[in-house]
Structure 1
């Protein structure tokens, strides 16, 4: 399984517009982060988790031109804002792209991208088919792959992570239910969000919370994503992380 980090930043990305923060001014390419998203490729099937506003550029620089499915963690702009840009992929594949998400997320997509769902389309626009996951008990199949939706909390908002084989992706989590932690035990690779070092809100994990969750799950390797510029420089943070915990960066490719 080939895993490509398309983006590893928070909702603003790094650099932040107008910011004079040292990380935003860094010349290190690992400190430049587009909005978080990931591609999973196996047996010539390609799955995308989240489709944010940087999607077009992410796909161009990664040289991908097809998608077999998109899995949505939740409906915030930095996770769904790129749906207009799947149009050329539709044209290449000559078929709609299935999107999987919670009913609330699908309804939000239908409202924000209402023109995609019009019966009488008057132009070449994105072509998607939607699949609600609320009624899924434990797993569902896409292209013969067993996909496990993972229940996560983002503040007071229920969202999803996803597990495919021994790989799991979780972003924007502020708490993870014990049942989900049990679902993740024994995995080889975990991707998990970390926002910053210092606690400033009840929203996505700070470093201590992220490391605590990793200790509970005990994956073989963990890659951190959804990173704020206030977290620090990539090279400095990496030296402070425990063994087998790594800071992901845009265009990083790993195999699971």
Structure 2
């Protein structure tokens, strides 16, 4: 399984427009972060987790041309804003792309991209088929692979993470239920969000909270994502992390 980090930044990305923060002015490419998303390749199948507003550029610069499914963690703009840009992929594969998410997320997509859901499309709109996951408490199948939806909290909003085999992706978490922790114990590779070092945020983990979750799950390796510019410079932060915990960066490729 090949995992490509398409983006590792927060909702504004790094650099932030107009910011004079030192990290935003960094010349290091690892400090430049698009909105968070990953692409998983397995047996010539491509699975995307989240389709944010940087999706078009992410696909172009990583030279991806097809998708077999999109998994949505939740409905915030930085996770769904690129949905309209799947149109050329529809042309490449000549069929709708299945999207998997909570019923609430699907309803949000219908409101924000209403033209995509028209029954008699007469224009070149994105073509999708939607699959609601509210009733799946264990796993569901996509292209003959077991996909495990993971219950996560983003502030007061219930959202999803996803596990495929011994790889799991969690973003925008502010708390993780005990049941989900149990589902992940001993996993090989975990991707988990961290916003900043110290200042508490009600919607996302700060570093100590992220490290506490890692201690509970004890994965072989953890990669941190959804990173704020206030977290610091990539090269400096990575030297301060525990063993087998790494700071992800855009275009990083790992294998499970």
TM-score (norm: length of structure 2)? 0.99
| Distance (whole Å) between structure 2 residues aligned to residue 242 and residue 236 of structure 1 | 13
Determine the structure 1 residue equivalent to 2:115: 115
Determine the structure 1 residue equivalent to 2:82: 82
| Distance (whole Å) between structure 2 residues aligned to residue 185 and residue 46 of structure 1 | 26
Determine the structure 1 residue equivalent to 2:189: 189
Determine the structure 2 residue equivalent to 1:57: 57
Counterpart of 1:186 in 2: which secondary structure? coil
The reply to whether residue 125 of structure 1 matches residue 125 of structure 2 is yes
Determine the structure 1 residue equivalent to 2:150: 150
Shift of 1:140: 0.1
Determine the structure 2 residue equivalent to 1:235: 235
| Distance (whole Å) between structure 2 residues aligned to residue 201 and residue 36 of structure 1 | 18
Shift of 1:85: 0.2
Counterpart of 1:223 in 2: which secondary structure? strand
| Distance (whole Å) between structure 1 residues aligned to residue 201 and residue 62 of structure 2 | 34
Question: How do 1:14-93 and structure 2 match up within 5 A?
Answer: 14-93=14-93
| Distance (whole Å) between structure 2 residues aligned to residue 147 and residue 191 of structure 1 | 16
| Distance (whole Å) between structure 2 residues aligned to residue 13 and residue 118 of structure 1 | 32
Shift of 1:137: 2.2
The reply to whether residue 173 of structure 1 matches residue 173 of structure 2 is yes
Q: Which runs of 5+ in 1 are unaligned?
A: none
The reply to whether residue 254 of structure 1 matches residue 222 of structure 2 is no
Determine the structure 2 residue equivalent to 1:216: 216
Shift of 1:202: 1.4
Shift of 1:167: 0.1
Shift of 1:120: 1.7
TM-align CA RMSD: 0.5
Number of aligned pairs?
256
| Distance (whole Å) between structure 1 residues aligned to residue 147 and residue 203 of structure 2 | 26
Shift of 1:121: 1.2
Moved more, 115-124 or 185-194: 115-124
Determine the structure 2 residue equivalent to 1:97: 97
1:193-214, Cα deviation, whole Å (9 max, x unpaired): 0000112321200000000000
Counterpart of 2:175 in 1: which secondary structure? coil
Counterpart of 1:214 in 2: which secondary structure? helix
Shift of 1:119: 1.2
Shift of 1:17: 0.3
Determine the structure 2 residue equivalent to 1:6: 6
1:90-138, Cα deviation, whole Å (9 max, x unpaired): 0000000000000000000011000001112121110000000001120
| Distance (whole Å) between structure 2 residues aligned to residue 51 and residue 186 of structure 1 | 28
Counterpart of 1:196 in 2: which secondary structure? coil
Q: Which runs of 5+ in 2 are unaligned?
A: none
